[in-house]
């Protein structure tokens, strides 16, 4: 079971493992929160796991502790594995707090938690991360991990060690930058309120604005046109599940000048179209 919109790679990973992705829509009207009742209804005797990311890619939602505890009760009741992607764990804004479902002691045998150095330390190209799970689950994971990737490159392992042992000031610096960049992007989206409406992200460095006025019924074409005519790269919402249609994903992990440049181009583009 994957609450959607969700990171598109997760859907593909389920298929590669010969699983069937069961997509359960998030509640967009409530800040893309988990629909606990819909998840319950989606469970069948064939259900093996629930997989999600928090803070969310692409919506920027930070699932609250109370909701995740409710989800944990469901996992225990049906003996399901919960697989989490917590890549943006350190990047939350305003009063939102990241809560890892793996911190619930009763779920110690039911959770596989995935982390990455990519976001926390801006080590995108190094391709290194790690996971936490019960020892017996790790034993099974190794059976797939070794033939698929053997191990992370040695250079990346040393780089990760250096990141962990070095100053952690960069995490706070990144977080403050992303907060300013998020606020700037919201301000620029407000100036395009005839084209987009949005929910302010609580975490990550991503936004998932909704395209209004019937323009986003084909988000792939919408994004292609932005790229070709306005020279602005976005990700079509359909990539993140069927209910991602009518949206695009934007990233604010860039300099503020780039955000302004992109929105200047979009404003010029939409003025010609409207």
94 and 64 belong to one structural domain: yes
Tens digit of each residue's pLDDT (9 = 90 or more) over 140-163:
999 999 998 899 999 999 999 999
Regarding pTM above 0.85, the answer is yes
CA–CA dist 180, 108 (Å, integer): 37
104 and 218 belong to one structural domain: no
Beta-strand relationship, 129-132 and 196-197: unpaired
Tens digit of each residue's pLDDT (9 = 90 or more) over 86-99:
999 999 999 999 99
CA–CA dist 38, 92 (Å, integer): 26
Tens digit of each residue's pLDDT (9 = 90 or more) over 100-121:
999 999 999 999 999 999 999 9
Query: Token pair 């298929």 is at which residue?
Result: 15
139 and 204 belong to one structural domain: no
147 and 175 belong to one structural domain: no
CB atoms within 10 A of CB 269: 17
66 and 103 belong to one structural domain: yes
Tens digit of each residue's pLDDT (9 = 90 or more) over 218-264:
999 999 999 999 999 999 999 999 999 999 999 999 999 999 999 99
State CA 148 to chain mean position distance: 24
Give 107-165 as a DSSP string. Answer: GTTTEEEEEEHHHHTT-GGG--EEEE--HHHHHHHHHHHHHHHSS--HHHHHHHHHHHH
Predicted local confidence at residue 1, as pLDDT? 98
Examine the fold and report which residue of 142, 165, 188 is the final residue of a domain before the chain moves on: 165
80 and 92 belong to one structural domain: yes
Query: In the predicted model, is pLDDT for residue 168 greater than 80?
Result: yes
Examine the fold and report which residue of 134, 165, 196 is the final residue of a domain before the chain moves on: 165
113 and 196 belong to one structural domain: no
153 and 173 belong to one structural domain: no
Could you tell me the two tokens for 233?
A: 């790269």
**Burial of 223 from C-beta contacts in 10 A (0-12 / 13-18 / 19+):** buried
Examine the fold and report which residue of 135, 165, 195 is the final residue of a domain before the chain moves on: 165
Q: How many domains does the chain have?
A: 2
- Say if residues 274 and 193 touch (Cβ distance below 8 Å): no
- β-bridge mates for residue 168, sequence order: none
71 and 156 belong to one structural domain: yes
Domain span at residue 228 reads 169-273
Could you tell me the two tokens for 197?
A: 């409406």
133 and 108 belong to one structural domain: yes
């Amino acid at each position: 079971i994957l609450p959607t919109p969700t990171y598109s790679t997760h859907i593909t990973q389920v298929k590669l493992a010969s699983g069937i992705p069961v997509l359960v829509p998030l509640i967009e009207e409530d800040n893309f929160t988990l629909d606990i009742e819909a998840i319950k209804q989606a469970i069948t005797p064939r259900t093996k796991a629930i997989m999600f990311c928090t803070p969310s890619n692409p919506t920027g939602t930070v699932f609250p502790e109370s909701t995740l505890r409710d989800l944990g009760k469901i996992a225990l009741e049906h003996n399901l594995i919960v697989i989490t992607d917590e890549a943006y764990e350190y990047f939350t804004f305003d009063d939102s707090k990241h809560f890892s479902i793996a911190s619930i002691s009763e779920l110690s045998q039911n959770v596989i938690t995935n982390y990455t150095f990519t976001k926390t330390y801006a080590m995108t190209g190094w391709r290194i991360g790690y996971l936490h799970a019960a020892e017996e689950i790790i034993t099974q994971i190794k059976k797939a991990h070794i033939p698929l990737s053997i191990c992370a490159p040695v250079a990346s392992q040393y780089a990760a060690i250096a990141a962990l042992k070095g100053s952690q000031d960069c995490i706070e610096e990144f977080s403050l930058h992303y907060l300013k960049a998020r606020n700037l992007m919201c301000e620029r989206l407000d100036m395009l309120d005839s084209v987009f409406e949005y929910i302010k992200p609580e975490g990550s460095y991503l936004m998932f604005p909704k395209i209004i006025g019937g323009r986003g019924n084909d988000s792939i074409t919408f994004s292609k046109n932005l790229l070709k005519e306005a020279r602005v790269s976005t990700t079509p919402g359909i990539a993140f599940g069927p209910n991602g249609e009518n949206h695009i994903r934007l990233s604010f992990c860039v300099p503020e000048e780039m955000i302004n440049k992109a929105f200047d181009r979009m404003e010029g583009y939409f003025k010609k179209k409207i």
